[in-house]
Structures are given as structure tokens and as C-alpha cells.
Structure 1
């Protein structure tokens, strides 16, 4: 499969910001507050810190093997057969993550704004959008992100600035009432919802630069800062108890904004920000699964597989989203331990093996693999 033109570091940083905001801006304040109560903002900081540490692992891998995707790194570390098993597991993880985010979109719209619309119709509409974006190619949708980024920034400012006068700092007291344990627990759970490992499939397509890894880290920091601000706003305006009892607290927060009794109910802005960011995260994750599939099975062109795999997301999303209680229980209790296998443990294992073997062994393995493929 031919590589597309390289992305600039600035473009990649913007993609990381969109990816960070993704599903998290709307749903994670509730999970954080449920565990850490009024200290959820501290838990968000801990979670972002864990995300930065994981990104440093990915940057270390990416800088050492900058022309290799995660699937190709699996081959370098474990060899052909075991590497294929690990690669297939990563592809399945990306595909499952994509379907869950598609389900998030449908579930949000059918419960908050379009209750009489069948969820299947909404899923089909968004999957068609994702299919068009992925078929257009990485360069096309990355340029679209550059166009949307100033709009996203303006709308975030328009949403965040009116929140501050309404914040009641009493809602944050007493600080550390329950100690550090709930904060660490909530922060760890929060960090599992970013899944930044997906971007290692995009990392080789970024133009070679000394600032390449720095862009990855700064994108994580900026996106994390937005999530911390939203969490602070939810607690300061609505209180910890109300925030914890909402499915989508940031959406409810936007309903509470009132400027001079003439600017009210701007939840549409929050909905636009979330849909824009989650659609981009879906596109990136789905494209990552396609790139991995083509590399694993030596497919030259991914386009014939975009449509069937895209509509397969609908079936998988409907299978996962049986009801509200089951999916919330799965996401709050099981998703982070499950995702950590792919986001922390396996990347650390790969990095450790590649460092132990050294660059020479990896290079020889790569040359032998190339010779075998050509033969």
C-alpha cells in the first residue's frame, strides 16, 4: 500500500487535539465526579498526566521506528506469526472502539435531541459521512480539520468564557475530603477513554521533524486542558452531585449558561463541538483499522473494504448498545482495564523487546522479512 503525502507537524497536533476531545468532553465529567466527587478536577489532571506518560512511550517508539506503524512494529518485535496475532488484536481493538463511538453518537442524539428518530437511521447517516472521509484520504480529511479548527476554538471560547462568572467555588470544598485514592482511581479510569495509541498508526505519515514528538505531546496537553476546564465548569456551576447523576453533564452545563437574559440555551454549540470532534476521532480510528488491515494482509488498496467495513460498524454498534444500563456499566467498570492492555502494557512490551534487541537486530529482521516477501 502506497503511503500518502506526509502531514505537517501542525496538522498532526490539531488531529491530536480533536482526538483528545472526542468522546471525553461530553461524558467523562460524570464518571470523574461519580468517583472523586468535588475533587474530579484533580482526577482529570491525574488522568491527563497519565495520558502524557503514555504519549511519551508512543513518541519513543515513533522516533526510533518513525517509518513504521504500530502493526509493523509488532512484526519487528515478535516476528511474522506472533506479530500477526498482536496486529490482528490491535485492529480488532480499533474497530471495536470505532463502533462504540458510532453508538455514542446515536445514543446521544436519540436521548437528547431526536427521541423519535430511529437510532439506525442516525447511525447510517454518520457512517456514510465517515466512509466518504476515509475514502477521500488522510490528506483530505486532515485539511478539513485545519478548516474546522478555528471554528472549534471560537466555539469553545464562546462556551467556556460565560461559565466562569457562574462558578461557585464552594462546590469544590472540602478539597481532598476522601483522600487521594478516589482521585487516582478516577484519573486512571479517565485516561482509558483517550486511546491515543491509535495515533501511532498515523505517526509515520507525519513529516520528519525534531518537533514531531513535541506536537504529539502538546496536542495531548491542549486537548487535556479543555477537558479539565469543562470538568471544572460542570462542578462549579451544577455541583458534584448533579454532575455525577447526568449522562451528558457538559451538555446540561451548556443549558445553564445565561448572559444578560438574551444569550441562553446555547447547548447547540456544545453539541456541534462534540459531534465535530467525535466524528474526526471516528474517522481517524476507522482509518487506522483499515491501514492495519492492509498491512497485515498485504492489501494494496484499502478503498474496496471501506464500505463493507463501514456498514459493519452499524451492526457491531447495535450489538454493543443493547441498553443504557449495560453499556454504562461496561464503560465505567470494564473499558479502562481492557483498553489499558492495548494502550499501556503491549506498547511497553514492544518497546522493551525492541530496545533489548537493539537497532541492528530490528534492522536485520526487517531486511529478512522484506526478502521473504519479495521471494
Structure 2
């Protein structure tokens, strides 16, 4: 059901993490390595800024149209025909995401883990799981994700320590030897994947506080950027760009290199058991967004009616839409970023202009100015902004000095990772400050004052 959904800030941050991070681990990172080579781990900073822009637009929609999802908002703004046409395009975009994820995961399972199982059987199990969760709401998926995504993120960070005996920093050197053009292009490729944050727009009716909503999405996006950067660092340091750029499933092959002890073998199966549920949550969220969109066209607040036909349509169409792994990889790497920049970006700019006019003079703050909590919140916001902007500046400075000093490349790498880590920590501080302010404000309304 659409109206009975409540999701808190922590769940939003981790849902964003699952949406953006888990899908990249199948085969997408190969294309980034092919373009930027040993400097592929600099490829996440511009997609972070793009995802933050989409998050800002969605938070503005929450403030302008409380209790409405993006499909209902577009019907209000554009009317029956124009709004309906845009919503159809959004549904087509969501179908593309679902078809890519379902078929990509089925191909991965069929090739690497279940070679004797027919592909159709794997897809059938997947669609039955989707249809089961299709009878629930986003709140259920968010609660399940609270358990799996933190484990998955810890797993990604721990890969460096598990593979430290295989790691060789010389495979990353010389740092920033790829041309700046290659690094810029490698930053555009992940935009297609980071555009999946747009799916959250289907659940705006479940959001109460727009500023806390934006802070939670910001934290989730930076989690993805930091985690993917570490994964690329480990991948390139263990395999080098020549091998990583030729593998269909580079992360899976990377995990197979883990040898903790002589008696503990097949560690990748343990790690896979954490990744797959987190990835499944991403597919379920996309499927729920699709059902919400279809239900909006039917004028219904209950979308269970469309669950079974939509599930069978998606699984059958994904088979014909993307016949093999190569097509999926090429589409994610080159066609999906183009779709996002041509369709999603102009739509987001239009919505931003509209909500800025509608929200003019409606500034609201969860934290009263002048309090210690407000000063802490503002410092977290500024530090996060400075650190993310500093990542771009560091790349430009490192590219300028790359031919003059080998130490400059190493210094660039250390500063880049440090700034990204600080941004991750301060974005969490920003989110927690707003949540604390929300709780204090709720108590203050009962007591008649706000004290900090």
C-alpha cells in the first residue's frame, strides 16, 4: 500500500547505498578500468555531485508537495497528458533498471555459480521473490536492508585487509599518468548507475522532514563513493588494470583471490551470501517504484492488483531486451549515462526551478539558529562541502604536477582518500545533528521552548 509507509533517516541512507553500490559490483567496474586504467579509482567524485543534485531536487519536492510521490507531483504540475507522458518515460526508465539488474544477476549466477541450472529457472525464482515483496511496502525492504547493507559495506572495506598479502601498490603507480580527459570520461560512466537514486522519488510520500531526508541521502551517496573508491583501489592493487579490464566479473574474481588459511577455502561464497541479499533489496525497491508508478496511472493507493502481471512482464521482457552479458555491460557503461543526462537531468532541472518558486519564503529549520547544535550542524555541512570540492581540486593539482614529481602522485592519492573519508564522517554528523534537532524540536513544542 502507498499510504502506510514510514522510513527513518538511517534507513534512507542505507537504501541509497544499496541502490547505487550493489549493482556496480557485477561487471560495471571493468568499463571504468578500461577507460581510466590505473587511475580508475578517481572516477567517483563527479557522480557523487550529480547524485547530490538529484537528492536536493527530491528533498525540494518533499517540501513543496508533502504526502505526494513524484508520479502524483508530475500529474499535478503537467496535467493529465503532459504529466502522464513524463510518467510513462519514468516507468520506461525504471523498467530498464529492473531488466538490467535482473538479467545481469541471472547471467552472473548462471555463469559463475549455477552453470547447470537453466537461466529461465533463475529468473523465475527472482521474479517470485520480487512478487512476494511486491505485496508489502518500502518499509519492509528498508528494515531488511538495515541488516544486510552495513555488513556488505564492512565487507567491501575489509577486502583490503583480507587481500593484503596479494596487494602491490606498484600496480597503481605512477599515479595520475592517465590523461585528464580519460579521468573525466571515467567520471561520466558511473553517472548512469548513480542516477538510480531517482527511484527514491517514488516514495516521497513516506518522507516527513525534507532537510533530514536530504542529509540522509547525502550520507548514503558519500558511502557509495567512498566504498566504490576503496573497491577500485583494491582491485587495481591486486590485479592491475590490464587483467581487471578484461574480466567479465572482476569483483567476483578478486574475492576468489582471498586465502585466509589453508583450511578455509571458497571465502567468496561467504561474501556472496552478504552481497546477494543487499543487491536483491535494490531490485525490490526498483520493482516497488514501478508498481507505485503503475498504480498512480490507475488512480489507486493500493498497487497489489498490478503485482503479478508486472512481475511476469518484467522477467519476460528482460530476457528479450538484454540477450547476453556483453550487451548489459555495454548498455550500463555507455547508453545508461546518456539516458540519465538526456532525460533525467533536464527533468530534474525543471523540477528544481518549479520547487524553488513554490518553496520561496517557506524556509524551515529543524535547529534554531544560535544554538550549539546549529553551529555544529553548519560546521558539518561546510566541512563536507569543502572536502568534496577539495577532491576535485586535488585531482586537478595532481594532474598539473604529475610530470614534475612522482611524490606528487602519491600525495594526491593520500589527500584524495583522506578528504573523501572526512566527507563521509561529517555527512554522518550532519545527518545526526538534524535528527537530534528534530527530536529536540518535538519535545520543545510540548514544553514550549528549545534549549541546547
> How high is the TM-score relative to the length of structure 2?
0.74
How far is the alpha carbon of 1:262 from its aligned partner?
A: 4.2
Structure 1: which 5+ residue stretches go unaligned? 361-375
Match of 1:76 in 2: 76
Equivalent residue runs for 1:16-31 within 5 Å: 16-31=16-31
Partner of 2:40: 40
Q: Is the 8 A contact 1:46 1:183 kept in 2?
A: no
Between 11-20 and 141-150, the greater mean CA deviation after superposition: 141-150
Q: CA deviation at 1:282?
A: 0.8
Moved over 4 A (4+): 356-360
In structure 2, do the counterparts of structure 1 residues 41 and 356 end up closer, same or farther at CA, with 3 Å as the change threshold? same
Identify which range, 12-21 or 66-75, moves more after superposition: 66-75
Change (3 A) 1:48 1:164: farther
Match of 2:308 in 1: 307
1:11-68 CA distance string (max 9 Å, x none) = 2222111112221123232111011001100113333343333333333333433432
RMSD: 2.3
User: What secondary structure, in the 3-state scheme, does the structure 1 residue paired with 2:57 have?
Assistant: helix
For 2:10 and 2:204, how far apart are their aligned partners in 1?
Answer: 13
Correspondence for 2:292: 291
SS of equivalent to 1:202:
helix
Paired residue secondary structure (2:276)? helix
Say whether residues 1:103 and 2:120 are aligned partners: no
Secondary structure of 1:258's match?
coil
* Pairing 1:178-197 to 2, within 5 Å after superposition: 178-194=178-194, 195-197=196-198
> Structure 1 residues 163 and 122 mapped into 2: Cα distance closer, same or farther (>3 Å)?
same
Q: Does 1:174 align with 2:191?
A: no
User: Runs of 5+ in structure 2 lacking a partner?
Assistant: 362-452
5 Å-filtered alignment, 1:277-288, equals: 277-288=278-289
* Distance of 2:2 and 2:97 partners within structure 1: 26
Report the counterpart of residue 215 of structure 1 in structure 2. 216
- Residues 193-246 of structure 1: per-residue CA shift (max 9 Å, x gap): 131101111233134364221001101111221111111111010001111111
Structure 1 residues 89 and 127: alpha-carbon distance in aligned structure 2, compared to 1, 3 A threshold: same
Contact 1:77–1:354 (CA<8 Å) still a contact in 2?
no
Measure the CA separation in 1 of the matches of 2:146 and 2:23: 20
Deviates further, 61-70 or 109-118: 61-70
Which piece of structure 1 moves more, 115-124 or 300-309?
A: 300-309
Cα deviation, 1:317-370, whole Å, max 9, x if unaligned, reads 10122233333333332121013334322111222244356669xxxxxxxxxx
User: 1:236 maps to which residue?
Assistant: 237
If you compute each CA radius of gyration, which structure gives the higher value, 1 or 2?
2
Count of residues in correspondence between the two structures: 360
Structure having greater relative contact order (Cα 8 Å, sep ≥ 6)? 1
- Determine the C-alpha separation between the residues in 1 that align with 2:325 and 2:146: 35
Cα deviations by residue, 1:118-150 (Å, 9 ceiling, x for unpaired): 110000101111111121222222222223345
Q: Distance in 1 between matches of 2:358 and 2:143?
A: 39
Q: What's the secondary structure of 1:330's corresponding residue? A: helix
Q: Closer, same or farther in 2 for the Cα pair 1:137/1:288, shift >3 Å?
A: same
1:254 alignment counterpart: 255
C-alpha contact 1:250 1:270 (8 A) present in aligned 2: no
